[in-house]
Structure 1
Amino acid sequence: MQGESAVDPNPPAAPGDASEVTAESNPPLSKKQQKKLAKAAWLAEKKKDRRAAEKERKKERKRVQAERRAAGELDEDEETAERERRSKRQKTDVGPKKPFNARVVVDLAFDEMMSENEVKSLTAQLAYTYSANRKSSAPFASLLFTSLDGRTKERMDGQGNAAYLRWNGAEWWEEGYERLWEGETGHSEVQPVNAEEAEIAGASGEKVKGEESGQPGAEANTKSGRRKEPSRAKKDTVVYLTADTDEELTELKEGETYILGGIVDRNRYKNLCFNKSKEQNIRSARLPIGTYLAEMPTRKVLTVNQTFEILLNWVETRDWKQSLYAVIPKRKFNTVGRRRGGKNIDETTNDDGEEGQEEGENEDGEEDGEVEVRVLDLAELEQDGEQ
């Protein structure tokens, strides 16, 4: 009829209807998935609240303690505890460091081979590894993490606002460790460091690789303001540590690079790191556990950070037996351990025998549920150290 406008029965979708198109193209989540996502969001929010509350409690405790100290109200036990804390802080954070001019690389190229819990365990071990080097009086001059990708990177990015990018003296590569020698014929060993820059592993003011760009790949800045070049090494100075090789490590040498396999695999992948070293034609060696701890009845399975701490202890003492005894958990010397699922807990191993972890526990024997809290606490310590 004249005077009436024709109405299109199928008008085009408005811009605001794009979400409906997207929703149709993506299959709906199941109830189980929705509950899982909702629980994860709730836990993340609750964790933030817990951290904020704990920070406030710590500040209040410090304020009250300072007031009591000023008023002379501390009893003898409290004064003794304070002196011990100050002494421990001075021992770990103060004093000249004597760096060992070698490099340790953690190869993180196994992300797709691990479960979610194993990735969680691994990221905790990386934090302990960095912390051990930072506190050591004889730190390794270079600490490099390679092939950072996938869930490992996502988890590291999500902890403490990507606190790992602020780890002093640590390099993070998305590329593999092959970059150490690729395209370089004249480059040598670990770049020497002087006494001032030696504090990379501890209290120096170095800017960390990735801090400026927010991503792994940017090179580190030193305290002196010089731009630090990416690590390089001759291929014949690189050693992959794996328990599956016949060659035993007798000593650590300055100028060499030692690779640790960054994987928690419950012994699913046999000879993984050993085969990788053979394919790339680089040397392999194992820790001399069998030589110095022949009485240990269980399998020689260690976490990434435990392996690293053994290397650190050797640098300080030049004594393998002392270094191994200081780090290997005492329960590994027991013939009968706690049992889970009908197996001795020490029967869970990973590929290279130097880095592993029992199901459901972190390296200190605590439940996995506590691992994330401890990693976050470390991130807070790093942030406090920068202030």
Structure 2
Amino acid sequence: MSVDEFCRFCHKNLKIKGVFSQSTKIFEKTSNAKTVFDRLIDLGLTLKRSPEKSIRTCRRCTSILSRIERDLPVFRKWEEEEKQSDSSEQASAPKAADQSNWDPPASKMPRRVLHKFWPNPPAPNQTRISMSARRSITEVMTHYPSSKTVCNVCHPDDAGIVNNISKKNWKTAAGLMMRHKDLVEEIKVKILELVQHECKTLCNPSQGFILWRSSPEDLKSFSFSSLESDLNRLSPFLLSIFSTATNHSLPSTCAAAAIAVRGREPRMSAFSYYLNSILLHGGARKAVFKKLSKMAITTTHCHAVGKLKEFPHTCGEGLQLLEVQKEVLPTSGADGLTDSAGQDDEGIDLGGAIGTHRQRDSQLKHDLVDSSGSQAGQMCQEKRQKRRQEQSTQEEEGAEWVSRKRLRSEVQPSPLRLVVDCSFDSLMMFKDVRKLHKQIQRCYAENRRTLHPVQFYLTSLGGQLKQNMDETDKGWVNWKDITIKTEHYHEVIPREELVYLTSDSPNVLTELDDTKAYVIGGLVDHNHHKGISFERAKELGIQHAQLPLESFVKMNSRKVLAVNHVFEIILAYMEMGDWQEAFFTVLSQRNGAVPVDQNGQAVEDKEDDDSDRESDGTNTVKDNTSSMPDQQEGANEQIEAK
């Protein structure tokens, strides 16, 4: 702390909450009044600037100075009268021959008043004590059995603590301890050691803490009062901390303590199962359990349902069962679980007990899929049936069934290089960065699945994209058949071998050159930065081209494709050898893609013209222009990347 934060005369702390309050600078002039320095000179006291002394005075000392100035003329009058009376007495009395007993004249300022401004002036060779020094001296005398006595003089900062402890003024002594800079740090260490010891006691299964007891019989009798009783028995200090933090609310105190200790020991899950029953009763989904289980608040959804299935086998008729949104919820008359007497539990098939945890989890998942009848389960089942039908149809026609997973012996790697440029990270919002991450994942998956995988490069990786990949897809560091670099692509591959694919380029790509590296701009911006990839290609002096999209496809929207679309189109062209088939393998009509004939006219438009010529003049042609804005809007909603 700085010396200027205290009063120069009474050493009072002038800084309250980081702001100087009710203080005056001694050497600076305020308005038209004299400075404190000038006022003290008038009284006969001269102050000097020193880095070891404060330049501020408190309001109390300034008031004392004002009273001195007010009463000093009266004091001077008394002094003059005394001098006159002394001079008259000396004139009448004989002069003393011995001057050895001569006393110095009185100071212009009374000693009592001067003592207010300078209580204990240090000697020249004396070390200056702290500003909280006491005037009294506190000594501690220790008498040993060997008749030895040791006397220790307390430091002024510690004297008040020792004095109040000797008088058993515990409250005052504790307050002084908490204001002692060195002592309060040691107190914090001891408090943390006490908390650590109590946490270890709670996490010891042999202590019988209630959160360890998660069997159905124990959960049936779970209550906040019993949890508070166990906390008070095993960790009273920790309970007082949580109780004070939650303003002595019993449910909040117990919840905070239970969640905190489960973060230390995940097996203490009695309170988590209590919360599971509440969430399942409210119809919470698996995603809710997934998020809360990561924060050590609940268990996973599978364990929650598994615990509920144990109740009828162990608790018998003492526990009623409800079926809420096809979930089994245990309820009882205890404090922890709500009583629902009168509900019928007929028709609920909970199955028998399952041996291992893995078998039980597998059986639970199977039961949930079979009993839920959810739309997701039905869709998966329909996809499996459709795939089996396609396989049987191809086998009947004599064609060989092609699995999505190819054997590694069938794969023929291509020397072609495809580079995704991730240097546009600063131009995208975080939600667009997440979309780009998904597109890169799709590119990686398609390249691993294709018959002719390319040499995949990911350059300029960093910033928001890398952060999102680290948080949501930590397995990306184990990706195979991909080269990931933090450097720019022109630092990894020679510039003469680079070709930037951009829809703004006037050059049309007709064939793929295996000696070239084709760069795809990793930018999801919804056309906010139109033409930026083309401009960067020109700045770096590298070749650029666009896919022959207009020659084979008519797009209702702007001809800007997503990163994974460009990647998949090139993979499809390498496998099929035909641009049009490659385009319509990746682009569907919901993307606004319409095939174009040799004359450059859309096939659908040509069919409409032929039908118009064959129809008579009385028939009206249905106007399709009304649907164009909707198609345009749907196309604009697609994720675009340059």
TM-score, scaled relative to structure 2: 0.36
**In structure 2, what is the equivalent of residue 275 of structure 1?**
535
Change (3 A) 1:261 1:43: farther
Tell me, yes or no, if structure 1 residue 138 matches structure 2 residue 488.
Answer: no
**In structure 1, what is the equivalent of residue 633 of structure 2?**
344
**In structure 2, what is the equivalent of residue 2 of structure 1?**
138
SS, match of residue 260 in structure 1: strand
Unaligned runs of 5+ in 1: 19-41, 65-76, 181-232, 357-387
Match of 1:176 among 488, 493, 509: 488
Considering Cα pairs closer than 8 Å and 6+ residues apart, tell me whether 1 or 2 has the greater RCO. Answer: 1
- Counterpart AA for 1:309: E
Q: How does 1:160-309 map to 2 (within 5 A)?
A: 160=473, 162-180=474-492, 233-293=493-553, 295-309=554-568
**In structure 2, what is the equivalent of residue 373 of structure 1?**
none
1-structure distance, mates of 2:543, 2:457: 18
Contact 2:556–2:635 under 8 Å retained in 1? no
Change (3 A) 1:325 1:15: farther
1-structure distance, mates of 2:303, 2:418: 35
Tell me which moved more, 85-94 or 275-284.
85-94
Aligned length: 260
1:280 to partner: Cα distance: 0.6
What does the per-residue CA deviation read over 1:275-334, in whole Å, with 9 as the maximum and x for residues that have no partner?
Answer: 1111110001111111111x3322223211111000001101111111011111321138
Q: What's the % identity of the aligned pairs?
A: 27
**In structure 2, what is the equivalent of residue 371 of structure 1?**
none
**In structure 1, what is the equivalent of residue 30 of structure 2?**
none
What does the per-residue CA deviation read over 1:94-136, in whole Å, with 9 as the maximum and x for residues that have no partner?
Answer: 5411222111110011111111210111101110000000000
2-structure distance, mates of 1:324, 1:97: 22
Match of 1:322 among 566, 569, 581: 581
Match of 1:150 among 458, 463, 477: 463
2-structure distance, mates of 1:319, 1:130: 23
What does the per-residue CA deviation read over 1:25-51, in whole Å, with 9 as the maximum and x for residues that have no partner?
Answer: xxxxxxxxxxxxxxxxx8973486479
Contact 1:292–1:321 under 8 Å retained in 2? yes
2-structure distance, mates of 1:58, 1:131: 33
Bigger helix fraction: 2
Following TM superposition, where does structure 1 have runs of at least 4 consecutive aligned residues deviating by more than 6 angstroms?
15-18, 50-53, 56-59, 61-64, 77-80
- Counterpart AA for 2:432: E
1-structure distance, mates of 2:139, 2:433: 70
TM-score, scaled relative to structure 1: 0.58
- Counterpart AA for 1:152: L
Contact 2:508–2:548 under 8 Å retained in 1? yes
2-structure distance, mates of 1:145, 1:47: 34
Q: How does 1:328-367 map to 2 (within 5 A)?
A: 328-331=587-590, 332-333=592-593, 336=627, 344-347=633-636, 355=641
2-structure distance, mates of 1:82, 1:249: 39
Contact 1:337–1:346 under 8 Å retained in 2? no
**In structure 2, what is the equivalent of residue 203 of structure 1?**
none
- Counterpart AA for 2:572: N
2-structure distance, mates of 1:309, 1:146: 19
Change (3 A) 1:149 1:91: closer
Contact 2:424–2:523 under 8 Å retained in 1? yes
SS, match of residue 410 in structure 2: coil
| Aligned-residue CA RMSD (Å) | 4.0
Unaligned runs of 5+ in 2: 1-136, 141-153, 159-178, 190-287, 295-299, 305-357, 367-383, 393-399, 595-624
1:339 to partner: Cα distance: 5.1
Change (3 A) 1:291 1:83: closer
- Counterpart AA for 2:484: W
- Counterpart AA for 2:489: Y
What does the per-residue CA deviation read over 1:314-366, in whole Å, with 9 as the maximum and x for residues that have no partner?
Answer: 101111111011111321138747859xx71323588xx7x26xxxxxxxxxx
Change (3 A) 1:274 1:90: closer
1-structure distance, mates of 2:462, 2:633: 33
Change (3 A) 1:51 1:299: farther
Contact 1:267–1:349 under 8 Å retained in 2? no
- Counterpart AA for 1:235: R
SS, match of residue 259 in structure 1: strand
Contact 2:302–2:361 under 8 Å retained in 1? no
